[in-house]
Every structure is written in structure tokens, then in C-alpha cells.
Structure 1
Amino acid sequence: MVQAFKNHWTGIEQVTKALLKGKFLWFFVPGLIVGSIYVYYKWQAEKVLAIAHAADDVPLVGTAIGWLADGIFSIFDLIASEFYKFVILVVLSPVNCILSEKFDSYLTGNEYKFDFIRLLNDFLRMILIVISALFMEYVFLGIWWLFSLVIPDFIGETIFFLIASFFVGFSFYDYSMERYGLNFFKSWGMGFSKMSYMLITGGIFTLMIKIPVIGIIVAPVLTAMLSTAVYILMNKKSQVQPTPVVRDQDLLDT
């Protein structure tokens, strides 16, 4: 766990230095577009909710309307948040995949020639990975929800945060795991064996998107870059290599 935090700190420094040099800034554009749409939805939803609460002063009826509006808003907010996560992890996966590859080249000197077929395969694999990750996340969350009914709220919220962070973190690391030759099952094996890394990276993403407006715009880019840097550090790769090394999960350092 200590080494995981050290690698993340080093990764954050590497990401910061690259961005301060003006590198990879255009990758924020897709996130800006998606984030702007999401922010607009939130703004409109809050306006509707405010209108519903305008009747709060009306006895009984006003309270009932406000309570119903809060419930509906919470449901739609959850749906919107999950849809945003889906868009970031699936629809923007080609962009995130290219970013991860470019940042890998920047850090290690590895050269990756553009290959449309490989990019398409990466996209299809990412869909499979994300769908399986989201499915497993919801299964775990559903199981834990049953236990959360009889435990304090702060414990339940913490566990929910950790479960969501793990699967989000894993999804971002998979860009690198695929690039270095880990198949579907070995990627999952590495994800669970390096759980602390998945939790920290996913936790950073989850916390960043809670920052009003700017968080949902910058979180995908920063997390894709951070997971790439940490993956390299985690495997103790040298900073300059002419070609990528295909590694099996069993050969990864603990």
C-alpha cells in the first residue's frame, strides 16, 4: 500500500510536469464537450427542482410535491451520473486509449504506430471490459446494499465509494494492460492482485468528478494519464525503451 501511494505521487508529478509543458492539452476537448452537456443537464434539473420547491409553503400538498420532486431528482441524478461514467469509459475510450499510448511514449520512449484495426480491437475489448466491470460493480453494490440496511450510513457510504473506485480504476488501467499484452482474464487477475492501485486511482477519479463543473471535464484526462504513469512505475519499467515489452500478468512485480 505504501509503495502504491509513492507511485501515485510520482505519477502525479509526471502528469503535472507534462501538462505544464503544454503536452496533451487537446485531449481535454472531448471531456469539455461531454462535461458541458452534463453540467447543462444538472443546471436544468436544479431549475426544475427549484420550481417544485416553490410550493413548499403550501400545507401538506407543497411538502408532498417537494418530497416527490426530491425523490425523482435523486433517481435521475443517479442515472445521469452512471450514464456519464459509461460515456467516459466507453464512448471516449478511443480517445483515452490514444492518450494513454501517447503518454506512455512520452515517458518511456516506446514507439506505437497507428493501427486502425488495433484501435478497433481495443475499442471492442474496452466495451467488454467496461460492461463486465459495471456489471460486477452493480452486483457488489447490490449485495452490499442489503448489508447497509443494518449498519451505520458512513460505513455503507465508504464501502460504496471503495467498490465504485475499484472498478473505475480498473477500467482506466486496462488501457495499459491491453497495450502490454494482458488478455481479458489476466487483466482481471492483475486488477484484483493490485487492488490498492485500482482503489487509489479510481478514488482520485471519483473525488475529482465531485468538484463542481471543472471536475467532470478534467477527471478523465488526468486519470488516464495517471493510470498510465503508475502502471509503468508499478512494473518498474525503464524510462526509455525502443519498443513495448509484452508482459504476462505472472511476470508483473508484486
Structure 2
Amino acid sequence: MRQFFREFWLGISTYSSAIDFIKKHKLRTYFLLPAIFSVLIFIGLAFVAYFYIEELMTYLDRLLNKTSLEGFWYKIAQWIVNTLVWLFAGLAYLKLYRYLMLILLSPFLGLIANKVQDILHQQEAPFDLPQLLKDVLRGVLISLRNLVWELLFTSILMFLSLVVPFLSPFTIVLILLIESYYIGFSMIDYRNEYKKIPFRQSILIVRKHRGFAIANGLVFNLLILIPVVGVLFAPALSAVAAGIGIEKIEH
């Protein structure tokens, strides 16, 4: 447990180290393309989500009109339904953004992670397109694998919160930690790709350092809530922080 909290704090503090690292080694240009694509993904999803939410709310409003509710009780029921729709839509939107970001930005985040490791190990690996394509495929497969597990665990917790409502505050926290773990997992694996660590061994490494993985993903989740700035810089910054932190832990 002591190791968990020590590595959890390291996962948070490495974001500050990552900012200093980026400034020192002039890596700002590496952030340009990931930032542009991240914003495009975020805005594109927002338009799609808004359209379907409006359709869903109109449909649910029609269903409410068919009930015997009137006046004050109808307005209360309508408010509850609308609030729940927006809440679950917001959670689904952020989840979809995170995984589309991990899949579509995989080539850029992989390049950033490789550059960080080149600097840390004082070497310059030659550009290898076939290897980059393999790394991208691995990143996509890991993201899809993590999405399946995350959806399984979060679905169970959400069902539990509906069955036993007083557990909702605890399940919300657990869902956030699970989501953070799998985001951190992906960020750490970029470094493991660089070291040619097999996928199964990479899973064991992340599990061993789950405190660090959760913290890395948690800061990412909090950063994307910051308007504009979070979406622009959170993905690449998280990849840099993960690469720096996991190297500190294992050396």
C-alpha cells in the first residue's frame, strides 16, 4: 500500500517535471499536430452528441406526455429525466473522446514518447516506418482491449449504483479511478513499446505500478475538463509525464 501511494504521488508530480522537460528540450513543436487533431475530435464529437441528445430528449418528452403526470410533478419528472440524460451523455462523450483520442493520436503520441526516451537514454533511434506502423497497431489494439475491460467494469458499477442508490458516491469514484487506470495504462505502454517489451509483460508492468497509472490518467481526466487548454495539451503532456515517471520508478 505504501508503494501504491508513493507511486500515485509520483504520477501526479511528474506532470510538473514533464512541463520543465518539454521547455528544456524544446519539444513544443511535437505538440502541434496532436493538439490540432485532439481539438477536431473533441469538436466533431460535440456536434454529433448534441444532435442525438436533442433527439433523445424529444423522444423522452413524448413518453412523459403519455403518462398521467401533470403540472408540478410533470415538470419535476421532466427535470430529472433531462438531468440524467445530460449526465450520462456527458460521461459517454468523455469516454468516447478519450478512446478516439488514444486511437487516432496513437502515431503522434508514440513519436513523442519515443523522443522522450531518446533524450532520457541519450541516444537517437533512427526513424523506422515499419516499426512505427507496428507500434500504432499495438496502440490501437491496447486501446480497444482497455475499452472493453473499462466498459465491463463501469457497467457493473453503474448497475450496482442503480440497484443500491446509496452506493452511488462510491461507485462514481471507482468509475473515475478505473477510467484513469486505463488511460495511464495506454500512456505507459508507449514507453514499453519503445523498449520492445511484449504486450503481456507490459500488462504486468502496469499492474505492478497501478498507483502511478491511476495518477497519470487521473490528471489527464482533470486536465481535459479545462476549456480549450486541456483538450489541446492533455494527451501529449500525459504521454511525456508517463515516460518520465515510469523510468524513474524502474531505475
Is TM-score (shorter-chain normalized) higher than 0.5?
Answer: yes
Letter in 2 for 1:191: V
The answer to whether structure 1 residue 135 and structure 2 residue 148 are counterparts is yes
The answer to whether structure 1 residue 35 and structure 2 residue 39 are counterparts is yes
Shift of residue 105, structure 1, vs aligned partner: 1.5
| Residue 97 of structure 2, aligned match among 56, 69, 84 | 84
Q: Trace 1:1-254 onto structure 2 (pairs within 5 A).
A: 1-5=4-8, 7-8=10-11, 11-21=14-24, 23-29=26-32, 30-36=34-40, 38-39=42-43, 42=46, 45=50, 70-148=83-161, 149-150=163-164, 151-236=166-251
SS in 2 for 1:98: helix
Which structure has the highest helix share of the two? Answer: 2
State the structure with bigger RCO (CA 8 A, min sep 6), 1 or 2.
2
Output one character per residue of 1:20-60: Cα deviation in whole Å (capped at 9) or x when no partner: 347221233232343255247648949x97xx9xxxxx957
Structure 1 stretch displaced more, 116-125 or 174-183: 174-183
Output one character per residue of 1:197-228: Cα deviation in whole Å (capped at 9) or x when no partner: 11111111111111122112211011000001
Shift of residue 65, structure 1, vs aligned partner: 6.4
SS in 1 for 2:110: helix
Shift of residue 178, structure 1, vs aligned partner: 1.6
Percent of matched pairs sharing the same residue: 24
CA distance in 2, matches of 1:228, 1:106: 11
* Counterpart contact for 2:12–2:215, Cα < 8 Å: no
Shift of residue 19, structure 1, vs aligned partner: 3.0
* Counterpart contact for 1:133–1:167, Cα < 8 Å: yes
CA distance in 2, matches of 1:144, 1:9: 26
CA distance in 1, matches of 2:16, 2:94: 29
Shift of residue 230, structure 1, vs aligned partner: 0.6
The TM-score with structure 1 as length reference comes to 0.77
Change (3 A) 1:186 1:145: same
* Counterpart contact for 1:173–1:228, Cα < 8 Å: yes
The TM-score with structure 2 as length reference comes to 0.78
CA distance in 1, matches of 2:83, 2:13: 42
Output one character per residue of 1:81-115: Cα deviation in whole Å (capped at 9) or x when no partner: 22211221111001000000111122221321110
Q: Which residue of 2 aligns with 1:247?
A: none
CA distance in 2, matches of 1:174, 1:127: 11
Provide structure 1 residue ranges, at least 5 long, that are not aligned to the other structure: 53-57, 237-254
Shift of residue 74, structure 1, vs aligned partner: 4.2
Shift of residue 8, structure 1, vs aligned partner: 3.5
Q: Which residue of 1 aligns with 2:60?
A: none
Output one character per residue of 1:100-149: Cα deviation in whole Å (capped at 9) or x when no partner: 01111222213211100000000111111111111011111122223323
User: What is the number of residues matched between the two proteins?
Assistant: 230
Change (3 A) 1:75 1:156: closer
* Counterpart contact for 1:201–1:227, Cα < 8 Å: yes
* Counterpart contact for 1:27–1:99, Cα < 8 Å: yes
Change (3 A) 1:156 1:7: closer
* Counterpart contact for 2:9–2:212, Cα < 8 Å: no
* Counterpart contact for 1:7–1:233, Cα < 8 Å: no
Change (3 A) 1:70 1:45: farther
